[in-house]
Amino acid sequence: MNHQFSKTTGITRHLFTWFVALGFLTFAVTIAQAYERTTDCESCHGGFRDDPYNSLSDGSRWSNSLHNVHRNNMLNGDCETCHTSGSRSRVYLDSSDGGNGLSAIGCVGCHGRDGDMGNDSVSPGRGAGLRQHHSNAGITTCQACHSDANPGNYSPVGEDILPNYYANPGSGHAQIPKDSCNPSGTENFSGTSVGLDNDGDGQYDTADADCSVTATYMVGGTVTGLSGSGLVLRNNGGDDLAVNSNGSFTFATALEDGSAYNVTVRTQPSNPAQACNITNGSGTLSGGDVTNITVSCTNVTYTVGGTVSGLQGPGLVLQNNGGDDLAVDANGAFVFAGELGNGDSYLVTVKTRPTAPKQVCSINNRNGTVTGSDVINVQVACSTTLFQVNTGLNDAWYNPLTDGQGFFVTVFPAIQKVVLSWFTYDTQLPPQDAVANLGDPGHRWFNALGFFADNEAMLNIKIASGGIFDTTTDVTRVKDGTAILTFDDCNSGTLEYNIPSIGRSGIVPIQRINDANVALCESLAAQATVAETTNPKDGGSSQLMWSGNPTSAAEVPLLEMNPGLNDAWYYPVTDGQGFFITVFPDIQKVSLSWFTYDTSLPPEGAVANLGDPGHRWFNALGSYTGNSATMTIKITSGGIFDTTTEVSRIEDGTVLLTFTDCNSGTVEYNIPSIGQSGIVPIRRIVGDNIGWCESFITP
């Protein structure tokens, strides 16, 4: 629809005037009849039903009548939008039956605005802009009745204010325009080049100052260094933007040219914790998008340290998490050079002990998790009084950095020897086609035996091979390296190993899996007396004793499990296989570890860097009552020798462990994965600790 003024005739081409009822003014009625009921309109605009319609202002020929353009194009045949019941010929400027979902306000639904209501003396006032359009074109007839028709009396709301039907188009009226500023030409029908002059000031569409659009621009930039999750940026205190990766970012809301922007971090990343700093984060938009904001993220790190006391000489070297070596030469505070992120674990151990004089150093608060601040409470206490190895060390031990692997220590005080068994894996993952009926084809285990003196034991590593699960077979044992087992106290120590067959050596910090037996060890250590401190292997003797050490050889019935059962056990018929049993009285549980073999010999050509490719081992844990325990078998897989790796654990059967006395019992097992079950009679490998077990039995 073409609605602009003719500069030569002074009459309007605006379709609003097709609905001005000059006759209605003459009759001075409060409900105005529209264009079709007043012939004066046709003198400027032509016939409303002329088909095709010919514009009297510019001579353009339309494809249809004005009536049909309104009815069919804009209103989709919804006649009640404009008409009143009783006569289809009666059309009023501001009254109708109302179309489908449309207000019953007739022509001013599109040609007037609700914002102009209440400013006219004879009508609701929605048509103020239409009337002033005519007044500004020199047709002042409306002013005779309508006070809002005179621009001097009232200024209509701006062009950008939507007519009622634009804002609420009801149902089925898809072609009713949505924007009174007509930026996309939706008010233009039948080839017209402009829309409506809704506020009557003679300015059309975006040429009207009310519709002037201030340019808007986007705000964004680049994120670098992001490795955590949860980063949220915001602009001007809102418009929050979650950022999940490095690269460019742009806020969703555009800002007007000349407005300020201020980009801040609402939420810093976590996992790992990071601190993100912003460069070029604030300013004023000036004719273009902002793209130079830089968000640089770095990990938040913390130090690990503490204090050393009692140190009398050089040689002490501490480690954190198996590395970051720190030489300490004096008492006082220490801090590792390497820093850790929030949530990272730490484990402080002694790599080498002081040498002049010889000292042992125990560590309190040795391990934990960084929780948003520096760790400063690790306490290293050194002493020249050497810890004495005793049977309270008989327990399950591990290095927290290599979860899924572990050690069993058994002290035999009468023969002054220590046995250490290492449950581990090959030096690399097994090939995908590796054969395994039971457990992980990467399983490896070996034992080490040697004399102890004071807090240290010199051990020879032996690797057994050739066995079959719970079967009598000939096994071979080959010496393959050495180990030095040293204890600083009842809950910490180191294993220094050298295994030539794989070209590997190292120092492994160890601690108990559970501290239930620490107090027992400390009690024995306090009672211990050392007659001589020379190593028996060098011709000397050293006998560890405790008060009231029982030596009874009689079979005393065992009614309740106790830590005196913590020992190495086996079935003589299946030599080369065995069990380690650990009782945890504080939590009423018992652990059994079985070092064994697969159910058949490995195929020829089976790959093994370390030990026998047929090695298998598994653990069982359960609660005990009296002298028996029902335990769940768990098989661990996926590890690599002395390496931090993720392992998996699956349940695979049950074990019923029962003791009749301190030197005999049975292991009744059921392992569904291999379809095997049986009962294995067991006894101690060495009888040194029988008396200790019996000492727990109340007569």
The per-residue pLDDT for range 340-360, each reduced to its tens digit, is 988 888 999 888 899 889 888
Q: What element of type H or E holds 458?
A: strand 456-465
Query: pLDDT at position 24, please?
Result: 32
Query: pLDDT at position 29, please?
Result: 37
Tokens standing for 467?
A: 């066995």
- Reply yes or no on whether the pLDDT at 223 is more than 80: yes
Query: pLDDT at position 259, please?
Result: 95
- Reply yes or no on whether the pLDDT at 188 is more than 90: no
How would residue 89 be classed by pLDDT, with cut points 50, 70 and 90?
low
Nearest alpha-carbon partner for 594 in 635, 561, 647: 635
Which backbone phi and psi does 516 adopt, to 5 degrees? -60, -30
What value does the mean pLDDT take over residues 413-422?
94
Tokens standing for 464?
A: 């057994």
Contact 546, 530 (CB under 8 A): no
Interatomic CA distance for residues 478 and 397, integer angstroms: 24
What value does the mean pLDDT take over residues 668-680?
96
Query: pLDDT at position 461, please?
Result: 96
Tokens standing for 609?
A: 């860097």
User: Mind listing the pLDDT tens digit for each residue in 455-487?
Assistant: 999 999 999 999 999 999 999 999 999 999 999
- Reply yes or no on whether the pLDDT at 105 is more than 50: yes
- Reply yes or no on whether the pLDDT at 385 is more than 90: no
Report the half-sphere exposure of 77 (CA within 13 A, side-chain side): 0
Of the two residues 113 and 7, the one the predictor is more confident about is 113
Interatomic CA distance for residues 25 and 332, integer angstroms: 103
Q: Which residue matches tokens 């103020």? A: 128
DSSP string, 360-392: EEEEES-EEE--SS-EEEEEEEEESS-----GG
Interatomic CA distance for residues 421 and 116, integer angstroms: 94
How would residue 304 be classed by pLDDT, with cut points 50, 70 and 90?
very high
Query: pLDDT at position 46, please?
Result: 77
Interatomic CA distance for residues 115 and 11, integer angstroms: 26
What value does the mean pLDDT take over residues 673-691?
94
Least confident segment among 387-391, 500-504, 520-524, 538-542: 538-542
Query: pLDDT at position 88, please?
Result: 67
How would residue 555 be classed by pLDDT, with cut points 50, 70 and 90?
low
Which backbone phi and psi does 332 adopt, to 5 degrees? 125, -160
Beta strands in 163-302 (DSSP E): 216-217, 219-224, 231-235, 238-243, 247-250, 255-256, 260-267, 274-279, 282-284, 290-299, 301-302
Give me the amino acid identity at 181: C
Interatomic CA distance for residues 450 and 459, integer angstroms: 4
Least confident segment among 16-25, 499-508, 586-595: 16-25
Contact 568, 421 (CB under 8 A): yes
Interatomic CA distance for residues 445 and 427, integer angstroms: 12
Interatomic CA distance for residues 383 and 353, integer angstroms: 10
b/e per residue 615-647 (b: at least 16 CB within 10 A): bbbbbbbbebeebbbebebebbbebbbbeeeee
Tokens standing for 260?
A: 């300020």
Interatomic CA distance for residues 159 and 180, integer angstroms: 7
Interatomic CA distance for residues 20 and 371, integer angstroms: 78
Q: How many CB atoms lie within 10 A of CB 345?
A: 12
How would residue 207 be classed by pLDDT, with cut points 50, 70 and 90?
confident
3-class SS of residue 623:
strand
Of the two residues 437 and 18, the one the predictor is more confident about is 437
Tokens standing for 21?
A: 């009822």
Interatomic CA distance for residues 361 and 354, integer angstroms: 8
Mean of per-residue pLDDT scores for the chain: 86
Q: How many CB atoms lie within 10 A of CB 279?
A: 12
Which backbone phi and psi does 280 adopt, to 5 degrees? 60, 35
The dihedral formed by the CA atoms of 635, 631, 579 and 676, expressed in degrees to the nearest 10: -70
Query: pLDDT at position 610, please?
Result: 93
Query: pLDDT at position 253, please?
Result: 95
Report the half-sphere exposure of 185 (CA within 13 A, side-chain side): 7
Quick one: DSSP state of residue 29?
A: -
Least confident segment among 76-85, 321-330, 537-546, 644-653: 537-546
Contact 263, 282 (CB under 8 A): yes
Q: What element of type H or E holds 527?
A: helix 518-527
3-class SS of residue 37:
helix
- Reply yes or no on whether the pLDDT at 322 is more than 80: yes
How would residue 536 be classed by pLDDT, with cut points 50, 70 and 90?
very low
- Reply yes or no on whether the pLDDT at 1 is more than 60: no
Beta strands in 182-218 (DSSP E): 216-217
Nearest-5° Cα angle at 623, 618 to 624: 110
What value does the mean pLDDT take over residues 124-135?
91
Give me the amino acid identity at 174: A
How would residue 14 be classed by pLDDT, with cut points 50, 70 and 90?
very low
Quick one: DSSP state of residue 129?
A: H
Query: pLDDT at position 199, please?
Result: 92
User: Mind listing the pLDDT tens digit for each residue in 136-174?
Assistant: 888 888 888 899 999 999 999 999 999 999 999 999 998
How would residue 683 be classed by pLDDT, with cut points 50, 70 and 90?
very high
- Reply yes or no on whether the pLDDT at 30 is more than 60: no
- Reply yes or no on whether the pLDDT at 266 is more than 60: yes
| Category of 497 on φ-ψ map: left (φ > 0), alpha (ψ -120 to 50) or beta | beta
How would residue 699 be classed by pLDDT, with cut points 50, 70 and 90?
low
